[in-house]
Amino acid sequence: MKFSKILAALASVWILVACSNEQNKEATSNTVKTNQDQGALERAKQYPAPVESIIEQGVEIIDTFEAPSGMIGYAGMMRGKPLAIYVTKDKKHAIVGTLIDAEGVNLTVAVMDQLVEGPKQEQVWKELEKSAWVADGSDDAPVVIYTFTDPNCPYCHKFREAADPWIKAGKVQLRHVLVAILRKSSMDKAASILGNNDPEAMMMKHHEQFSQGGVKINQKAVEQGQVRIQLNTNMMQRFGFGATPTSFYKDEEGKIKSVQGMPQGDMLETMMGSPKPE
């Protein structure tokens, strides 16, 4: 089975086609092909042939690591998702996936967290800090949680209700990164909140009126906020997430973690950093 068939099960590949006039088409095509050939040649000096084949499928190689049985490990990423690659000692074959030892210990997760997930999440956090978000809770709260919120998402609303005791106690500040992915009205509602002169008050009003459809559309605010909503939506998709709520928090060790969907069981208290306030 060719690697491309295996990789198709891991991720979809988007192909972007650009149009040019007939006069420039041939010259452009030749330039692109030359650049691709040069890039492949440079990589061939660094990577075994199986890894080069994987790179051609759209995988970005982040780093290498030691692996058992004389193999070489490559930490990669495709469409925002980590990918572990193990190249055999003869460098003629590559294995993609999780490596398990005789005792059932996962030998991949720790190294991928160190080389891929950790740095990736740090970058995600930095981008979230710079994004257009709406504060929900005290600025002095010791715990900050960024959460992608679609104004039409019932689970986003449930998450906000579940977090309410920590927010009222001043222990947590939610930072809603508003996006528009669920319905046609999501963009106008989200932009009506973010584009308002007082987005925090509008965010609260939206939660209070959620069962009645949330905030009313304010066209002036929509014009002010829609570009930032689209940028937030693009950012979320670039991170590789497609569902709301998707939330980011720091654990006790300061490591950045993400949770997709409504937190279940003990996860809510883990995210909030403390037991539920009385």
Residue-level pLDDT at 31: 45
Residue located via tokens 């014009």 = 223
Distances (CA, A) of 220 to 97, 130, 214, 277: 50, 24, 17, 39
- Report the SS3 class of residue 99: coil
Q: Which region among 24-33, 100-109, 147-156 has the lowest average model confidence (pLDDT)?
A: 24-33
Please determine, for residue 183, whether its predicted confidence score (pLDDT) is greater than 60: yes
Residue-level pLDDT at 79: 78
Percent of the chain, pLDDT > 70?
84
pLDDT band at 45 (very low <50, low <70, confident <90, very high): low
Residue-level pLDDT at 164: 97
Neighbours of 258 (CB within 10 A): 17
Strands 81-87, 94-96: pairing is antiparallel
Q: Where are the alpha helices (DSSP H) in 11-77?
A: 22-44, 49-56
Q: Which two tokens stand for residue 166?
A: 């920590």
pLDDT mean across residues, the chain: 86
Extract long-range pairs of 162-166: CB within 8 Å, 24+ residues apart: 162/262, 162/263, 162/268, 163/268, 163/272, 165/276, 165/277, 166/137, 166/272, 166/274, 166/276, 166/277
- For 107-128, write each residue's pLDDT tens digit: 998 888 888 777 888 889 999 9
Angle at the Cα of 213 from the Cα atoms of 211 and 219, rounded to 5 degrees: 155
Q: Which residue has the higher pLDDT, 39 or 132?
A: 132
- For 56-73, write each residue's pLDDT tens digit: 999 989 889 999 999 999
DSSP 218-265: -HHHHHHHHHHHHHHHHHHHHTT--SS-EEEEE-TTS-EEEEESS--T
- For 139-177, write each residue's pLDDT tens digit: 999 999 999 999 999 999 999 999 999 999 999 999 999
DSSP-assigned beta bridge partners for residue 66? 72
Asked if 170 and 140 count as a contact pair (C-beta separation under 8 A), the reply is yes
Residue located via tokens 């572990």 = 84
